[in-house]
Amino acid sequence: MRQWQMLRMIPRQPAKISTSEIKLRLADEGFATTQRTIQRDLMRLSSIYPLVCDERSKPYGWSWMKDADVLDIPGMDSHMALAFWMAGKHLERVLPTATLAQLAPHLKLARHVLDELKSERGAPSWRDKVRVIPRGPRLQSPDIREDVRDAIYEALLMNRRAWVRYAPRSAEGEKEYEINPLGLVLKDGVLYLVCSMWDYPDIRLLVLHRMRDARMLDAPATALEGFDLDAYIAAGELHFALDSEIELKALFAPEAEFHLAERPLSDDQRLEEQPDGRMLLTATVVDSSELRWWLLGFGDQVEVLAPASIREEMARIARRMVRHYGDCDDGAPHPA
């Protein structure tokens, strides 16, 4: 049992763990042993399993080989393999490549299990029968430096502060920050770090792909009293909130009813048919930039009635669009 626990503690390359760290973690699990015993066990286990020791610098560290198969006990059945396969097909569109690579051994095992399933009629495997497609154009995830990702993940895990060198979108050059990591949010393929800086209580959002360098510090992170990641998200900060909740009223073309009924905008959403056939939507929502993008996605199938500020903004956008396309005949392409 001690050796099984050791195998579970060893990370995959390029991460590594020292025998002294394994000894401490085993003690936490109730296994009292010596560092010399751990070293002998690891040497014996490495003759059976794809384990390697990095001896380039002290403290030496042990890892599973990067391409090692997953040690799966109990084995992965067909239902679990299908769940992993579908999750992988979805996550490859939303996760950064470096993060997805951590799942690669599990996805490889899922592919093997599905391909080995026997079919009475010789039909193609499950992998040939399942597809996951995104809504809208497929946007590539921004590149994140692997060392930056690892430093931020480790700081979050160990509840430590981190130093980052960051390239803000709205400023020239790079800035250096000392941050208190509070949470990590993945949205549309972009990783957002929720944090505070130095000893200030203000909550900030940083994206990992704009971090040019990062390292975990020895200082413990400062916890913000009363902070809750779910409450922060629910307040609309990750939807780029512009104000508090509003009551949205908008008229939608009849063909939009099915979409609005199947995927309500809020818990209190109401749809009422109007004399002209259009549907009046009433819903309490957070006023945000994303709300405006969602409304604009309906084009001429929506007319915002309230609040007046959003109606006026939609009207300004429509007038600008008329100026862009006003020289085109209805239904005719713009001349090249």
Question: 124-138 pLDDT, tens per residue?
Answer: 566 677 666 666 666
Q: Is the pLDDT of residue 236 over 60?
A: yes
Q: For residues 163 and 231, which has the higher predicted lDDT (pLDDT)?
A: 163
Fold assignment, 2-64: Arc Repressor Mutant, subunit A (1.10.10)
Rg of the chain (C-alpha set): 27
pLDDT digits (tens, 9 = 90+) for 149-174: 888 888 888 889 999 999 887 767 88
Q: Give the pLDDT mean for 234-259.
A: 78
Strand partners, 205: 194
Which residues lie below 8 Å from residue 282, measured CB to CB, with a gap of 6+?
247, 248, 249, 268, 269, 270, 272
Q: Is the pLDDT of residue 121 over 70?
A: no
- Please, which pLDDT band fits residue 334 given cuts at 50, 70 and 90? low
Contact of 191 with 184, CB cutoff 8 Å: yes
Domain spans of the chain, in order of start: 2-64, 146-227, 240-325
> Percent of the chain having pLDDT more than 70?
82
> Tell me, what's the pLDDT at 177?
92
- Class assignment of domain 240-325? alpha beta
Query: How many Å apart are CA 149 and CA 141, to the nearest integer?
Result: 14
CATH pick for 146-227 out of 2.40.128, 2.30.30, 2.60.40, 3.90.550:
2.30.30
> Tell me, what's the pLDDT at 315?
92
Query: How many Å apart are CA 21 and CA 35, to the nearest integer?
Result: 10
- Please, which pLDDT band fits residue 180 given cuts at 50, 70 and 90? very high
> Tell me, what's the pLDDT at 249?
93
Is there a shared CATH topology between the 146-227 domain and the 240-325 domain? no
> Tell me, what's the pLDDT at 165?
93
> For the ranges 116-120, 257-261, 291-295, 324-328, which has the lowest average pLDDT?
116-120
Q: Is the pLDDT of residue 122 over 50?
A: no
> Tell me, what's the pLDDT at 98?
65
Read off the tokens for 124. 């193609």
Which residues lie below 8 Å from residue 245, measured CB to CB, with a gap of 6+?
284, 285, 286, 287
Contact of 34 with 49, CB cutoff 8 Å: no
Q: Which candidate, 252, 283, 250, places its Cα nearest to that of 266?
A: 283
> For the ranges 69-73, 167-171, 194-198, 265-269, which has the lowest average pLDDT?
69-73
Pair type for strands 241-252 and 302-306: antiparallel
| Alpha-carbon separation of residue 195 from 150, 151, 270, 303 (angstroms) | 16, 14, 37, 38
Q: For residues 277 and 140, which has the higher predicted lDDT (pLDDT)?
A: 277
Query: How many Å apart are CA 279 and CA 270, to the nearest integer?
Result: 10
Is residue 87 within a helix (H) or strand (E), and if so which, with residue range? helix 78-91
Q: Is the pLDDT of residue 81 over 50?
A: yes
- Please, which pLDDT band fits residue 305 given cuts at 50, 70 and 90? very high
Q: Give the pLDDT mean for 145-152.
A: 85
> Tell me, what's the pLDDT at 184?
86
Q: Is the pLDDT of residue 202 over 80?
A: yes
> Tell me, what's the pLDDT at 336?
45
Q: Give the pLDDT mean for 31-40.
A: 88
> Tell me, what's the pLDDT at 94?
57
- Please, which pLDDT band fits residue 78 given cuts at 50, 70 and 90? confident
Which residues lie below 8 Å from residue 72, measured CB to CB, with a gap of 6+?
109
Q: Is 120 exposed, middle or buried (0-12, 13-18, 19+ CB in 10 A)?
A: exposed
